[in-house]
């Protein structure tokens, strides 16, 4: 690598997208509609064809209302998320996301993303109340095509490190700077608007596994928290930071298990082969109050038991010396069709999990 | 876990270098073959494996999860719109071929070029709807659900 680093300036940008995972690439597409003649530029740390958390694929869309099929309304989702996240929610943001998500999903289908259909109802194949199943190995490349059609210029391999503040206007962002991870060249982007779609920091909590798989979860290892650092340094007010995604790991596995639990009906056991979750609920109910955990009400009304409390039960069980927690796949895999779904599910989003074998029990 | 390269198959074309999200597939300057420079930062995402025209890249499991002997191979074809997997268990008892669609339409052709669609009207610009809305929310002419129509109100801010 040469030490004569160049400084490359891209000026007169109208919309700069920093970080083009699924969110950033989608933003570039939408921005093109509202700003037909505007200059839209993408700066991405990797290659937008395979970058971000969905680079590997995603085999479900975890939030789909289905108002079209009479399934849920946006306000139902707000209620669900409010209980699941124990009240620490901005309802306006939840509602906003919920009322627009279906049209995005329908556009993805039009672009070619294979959504599975329920052969009986004709509606999309549900995995759970909010999730639908897709063949999503190429989810990211498909949306990246949309971004490439929309952006004036795509800068791959640029790691943006700081947002630039405007000299003339107080408290206004006027661009970003970063460097090319290959050449070391310094890049300056001057832009009227900046959309930050950089990554979160889901790897800040490490599983305590040892050996070669130390610290490995299914989430992308390059989620270094740029989204937070860029915004906080620029003085932005961060919101909805109370809930962090923590990727729990079962014995011998580190794959995403949404479809395994919801669609394939797998379940967890402690080392003695016992169901352990429910025995922690009375104590948790006392701790958080009946408004957030009411096992009887949950049983009759399908109201969710907050995810953080279910994880708490998991950790409490391990701390009580009855780990590791295993996911039981034996029953699900008796049905060859379900077994195939299970394989596709991992192959389409966490191939490493398939390499391990489908969660051996 | 990490990728490794069959050196006799690699011709140093650099497709894997181009696509790797972790930027850890590099070309060895002496042998002119690709190699993984930092196995611990490999997501085993198979992006390079799928991009390799010679199927020269393979992935092994973490030693503490899966001793060697298994195999997961893949062929991805955008023109045919499919991805084909072959999985061999290390006990030799299972050998599976799995095929899944990656797209239902000719690649990229059904993504609109938004420069060419009619510009949004002033009314659209002042509304809260996004591109293709309201049509794409329901895909029919049914009315949209909103808070007013359902007699609901929104609470502001975070509350506990």
Instruction: Give domain status of residue B115, yes or no.
Output: no
Looking at residue B41, what is its pLDDT?
Answer: 85
**At which of A133, A156, A182 does a domain end?**
A133
User: Of A153, A145, A137, nearest to A44 (Cα)?
Assistant: A153
Find the closest chain A residue to B39 by CA distance: A212
A44 & A97 share domain: no
Instruction: Give domain status of residue A95, yes or no.
Output: yes
Across chain B, which distance is largest between two alpha carbons, in Å?
71
Instruction: Give domain status of residue A170, yes or no.
Output: yes
Residue A327 near residue A267 (C-beta atoms within 8 A): yes
Higher-confidence residue of B68 and A137: namely: A137
A291 at the B interface (CB within 8 A)? no
Q: Which two tokens stand for residue B118?
A: 């009619």
Looking at residue A163, what is its pLDDT?
Answer: 97
CA–CA separation, A244 and A22 (whole Å): 19
Indicate the number of domains in chain A. 3
Q: Does residue B85 have an active-site annotation?
A: no
Residue A175 near residue A13 (C-beta atoms within 8 A): yes
Q: A187-213 b/e with 16+ CB inside 10 Å = b? A: bebbbbbbbbbbbbebbeeebebeebb
Looking at residue A195, what is its pLDDT?
Answer: 97
Residues 6+ apart with CB under 8 A from A253: A327, A353, A356, A359
Q: At what angle do helices A139-150 and A22-34 cross, to 10 degrees?
A: 30
Looking at residue A18, what is its pLDDT?
Answer: 97
Taking contacts as CB-CB distances below 8 angstroms, the residues of chain B near A348 are 83, 100
Instruction: Give domain status of residue B49, yes or no.
Output: yes
Cα–Cα distances in Å, from B148 out to A9, A187, A208, B152, B154? Answer: 48, 48, 49, 6, 10
Looking at residue B160, what is its pLDDT?
Answer: 47
A82 & A142 share domain: no
A276 & A320 share domain: yes
**At which of A200, A224, A248 does a domain end?**
A248
For the whole model, what pTM was predicted?
0.93
Count CB-CB contacts under 10 A for residue A261. 15
Is B112 a residue whose pLDDT tops 90?
yes
A145 & A127 share domain: no
Residue span of the structural domain in which A18 resides: 1-55+135-248
Per-residue confidence at B158, pLDDT binned at 50, 70, 90? low
B57 at the A interface (CB within 8 A)? no
Instruction: Give domain status of residue A299, yes or no.
Output: yes
Instruction: Give domain status of residue B22, yes or no.
Output: yes
Instruction: Give domain status of residue A172, yes or no.
Output: yes
Average pLDDT, chain B: 89
pLDDT digits (tens, 9 = 90+) for B9-44: 999 999 999 999 999 999 999 999 999 999 888 888
Residue A158 near residue A43 (C-beta atoms within 8 A): yes
Q: Which two tokens stand for residue A253?
A: 């596995």
Find the closest chain A residue to B104 by CA distance: A112
CA–CA separation, A252 and A274 (whole Å): 18
CA–CA separation, B105 and A213 (whole Å): 38
Q: A74-94 b/e with 16+ CB inside 10 Å = b? A: bbbbbebbbbbbbeebbbeeb
User: Of A43, A7, A48, nearest to A160 (Cα)?
Assistant: A43
A224 at the B interface (CB within 8 A)? no
- Say yes or no for a CB contact (<8 Å) between B43 and A221: yes
In the block, which residue shows the tokens 């989702």?
A: A77
User: Of A205, A170, A175, nearest to A192 (Cα)?
Assistant: A175
Q: Which two tokens stand for residue A184?
A: 């070391």
**Candidates A111, A220, A324, A349, partner chain B, best to mutate (most B CBs within 10 A):** A111
- Say yes or no for a CB contact (<8 Å) between A137 and B70: no
Dihedral angle computed from the Cα positions of residues A346, A351, A357 and A360, in that order, rounded to the nearest 10 degrees: -50
Instruction: Give domain status of residue A334, yes or no.
Output: yes
What are B24-33's contacts with CB under 8 Å, separation 24+? B25/B57, B31/B7, B33/B5, B33/B7
A243 & A213 share domain: yes
Instruction: Give domain status of residue B126, yes or no.
Output: no
A146 & A45 share domain: yes
Instruction: Give domain status of residue B122, yes or no.
Output: no
Q: Which two tokens stand for residue A109?
A: 């289908």
Let me know how long chain B is.
Answer: 160
Instruction: Give domain status of residue B136, yes or no.
Output: no
In the block, which residue shows the tokens 């289908």?
A: A109
Please report the ipTM that was assigned to this predicted complex. 0.92
Per-residue confidence at B111, pLDDT binned at 50, 70, 90? very high
Instruction: Give domain status of residue B55, yes or no.
Output: yes
Dihedral angle computed from the Cα positions of residues A265, A269, A273 and A275, in that order, rounded to the nearest 10 degrees: -90
Instruction: Give domain status of residue A361, yes or no.
Output: no
The 8-class DSSP code of residue B150 comes to T
A100 & A222 share domain: no
User: Of A154, A179, A159, A161, nearest to A1 (Cα)?
Assistant: A179
Residue span of the structural domain in which B4 resides: 1-68
Looking at residue A2, what is its pLDDT?
Answer: 57
Residue A198 near residue A230 (C-beta atoms within 8 A): yes
Q: What is the CATH number of the domain that holds B60?
A: 3.30.70.20
A212 & A295 share domain: no
Looking at residue B85, what is its pLDDT?
Answer: 96
The backbone torsions φ and ψ at residue B14, rounded to the nearest 5 degrees and listed phi first, read 90, 10
CA–CA separation, A317 and A306 (whole Å): 17
A100 & A145 share domain: no
SS (H, E, C) B22-52: CCCEEECCCCCCEEECCHHHCCCCCHHHHHC
**At which of A198, A216, A248 does a domain end?**
A248
Q: What is the CATH number of the domain that holds A289?
A: 3.90.700.10
CA–CA separation, B39 and B50 (whole Å): 18
Taking contacts as CB-CB distances below 8 angstroms, the residues of chain A near B125 are 34
Burial of B144 (0-12, 13-18, 19+ CB in 10 A): middle
Interface of A with B in 324-343 (CB under 8 A): 340, 343
Residue B53 distance to chain A (closest CA, Å): 17
Instruction: Give domain status of residue A360, yes or no.
Output: no
List the beta bridge partners of residue A179. Answer: A159, A186
Residue A41 distance to chain B (closest CA, Å): 15
A with B: how many residue pairs have Cβ under 8 Å apart? 212
Let me know how long chain A is.
Answer: 361
- Say yes or no for a CB contact (<8 Å) between A216 and B62: yes
Q: Residue-wise pLDDT tens for chain A (361 aa)?
A: 557 899 999 999 999 999 999 999 999 999 999 999 999 999 999 999 999 999 999 999 999 999 999 899 998 999 899 889 988 888 889 999 999 999 999 999 999 999 999 999 999 999 989 999 999 999 999 999 999 999 999 999 999 999 999 999 999 999 999 999 999 999 999 999 999 999 888 777 777 667 777 777 778 888 888 989 999 999 999 988 888 777 667 777 777 888 888 888 888 999 999 999 999 999 999 999 888 888 887 777 667 889 889 889 999 999 999 988 888 888 888 888 888 888 998 899 888 877 765 544 3
Residue A42 near residue A146 (C-beta atoms within 8 A): no
- Say yes or no for a CB contact (<8 Å) between A211 and B64: yes
Indicate the number of domains in chain B. 1
Instruction: Give domain status of residue A25, yes or no.
Output: yes
Looking at residue B90, what is its pLDDT?
Answer: 81
Instruction: Give domain status of residue B117, yes or no.
Output: no
- Say yes or no for a CB contact (<8 Å) between A344 and B100: yes
Q: Which of B43, B89, B107, B131 is catalytic?
A: B43
Dihedral angle computed from the Cα positions of residues B46, B47, B50 and B54, in that order, rounded to the nearest 10 degrees: -100
Within A218-280, where are the H helices?
226-233, 258-262
Residue A9 distance to chain B (closest CA, Å): 23
Nearest to A149 among B113, B133, B150 (CB): B113
What are B145-148's contacts with CB under 8 Å, separation 24+? B145/A67, B145/A73, B145/A74, B145/A75, B146/A99, B147/A75, B147/A95
């Amino acid at each position: 690598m040469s030490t004569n680093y160049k400084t490359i300036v891209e000026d007169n940008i109208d919309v700069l997208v920093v970080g083009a995972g699924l969110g950033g690439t989608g933003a570039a597409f939408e921005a093109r509609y509202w700003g037909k003649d505007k200059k839209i530029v993408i700066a991405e740390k990797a290659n937008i064809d395979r970058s971000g958390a969905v680079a590997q694929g995603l085999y479900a869309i975890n939030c789909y209302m289905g108002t079209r099929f009479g399934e849920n309304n946006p306000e139902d989702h707000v209620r669900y998320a409010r209980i699941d996240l124990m009240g620490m929610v901005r309802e306006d943001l939840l509602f906003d996301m919920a009322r627009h998500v279906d049209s995005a999903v329908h556009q993805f289908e039009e672009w070619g993303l294979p959504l599975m259909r329920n052969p009986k109802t004709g509606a999309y194949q549900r995995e759970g109340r909010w999730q639908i199943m897709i063949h999503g190995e190429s989810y990211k490349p498909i949306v990246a095509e949309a971004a490439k059609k929309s952006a004036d210029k795509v800068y791959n391999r640029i790691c943006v490190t700081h947002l630039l503040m405007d000299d003339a206007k107080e408290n206004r962002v006027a661009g970003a700077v970063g460097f090319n991870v290959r050449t070391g060249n310094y890049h300056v982007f001057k832009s009227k608007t900046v959309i930050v779609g950089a990554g979160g920091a889901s790897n800040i909590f490490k599983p305590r596994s040892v050996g070669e798989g130390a610290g490995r979860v299914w989430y992308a290892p390059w989620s270094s928290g740029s989204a937070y650092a860029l915004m906080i340094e620029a003085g932005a007010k961060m919101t909805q930071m109370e809930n962090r995604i923590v990727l729990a790991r079962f014995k011998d596995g580190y794959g995403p298990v949404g479809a395994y639990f919801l669609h394939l009906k797998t379940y967890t056991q402690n080392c003695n082969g016992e169901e352990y979750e429910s025995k922690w609920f009375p104590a948790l109910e006392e701790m958080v109050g009946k408004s957030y955990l009411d096992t009887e009400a949950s049983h009759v009304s399908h109201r969710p038991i907050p995810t953080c409390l279910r994880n708490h039960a998991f950790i409490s069980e391990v701390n009580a010396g009855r780990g590791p927690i295993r996911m039981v796949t034996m029953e699900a895999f008796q049905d060859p069709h379900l077994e195939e779904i299970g394989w596709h599910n991992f192959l389409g989003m966490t191939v490493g999990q398939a390499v391990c074998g489908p969660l051996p029990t | 876990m990490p990728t490794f390269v069959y050196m006799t198959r690699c011709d140093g074309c650099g497709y894997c270098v181009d696509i790797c999200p972790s930027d850890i597939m590099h070309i060895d300057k002496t042998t002119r073959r690709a190699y993984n420079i930092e196995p611990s930062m490999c997501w085993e995402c198979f992006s390079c494996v799928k991009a390799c025209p010679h199927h020269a890249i393979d992935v092994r499991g973490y030693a503490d999860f899966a001793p060697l002997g298994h195999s997961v191979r893949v062929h991805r074809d955008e023109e045919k719109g499919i991805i084909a997997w072959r999985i061999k268990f290390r006990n030799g008892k299972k050998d599976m071929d799995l095929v899944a669609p990656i797209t239902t339409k000719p690649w990229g052709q059904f993504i609109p070029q938004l420069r060419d669609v009619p510009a949004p009207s002033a009314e659209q610009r002042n509304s809260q709807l996004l591109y293709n809305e309201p049509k794409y929310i329901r895909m029919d002419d049914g009315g949209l659900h909103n808070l007013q129509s359902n007699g609901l109100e929104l609470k502001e801010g975070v509350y506990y």
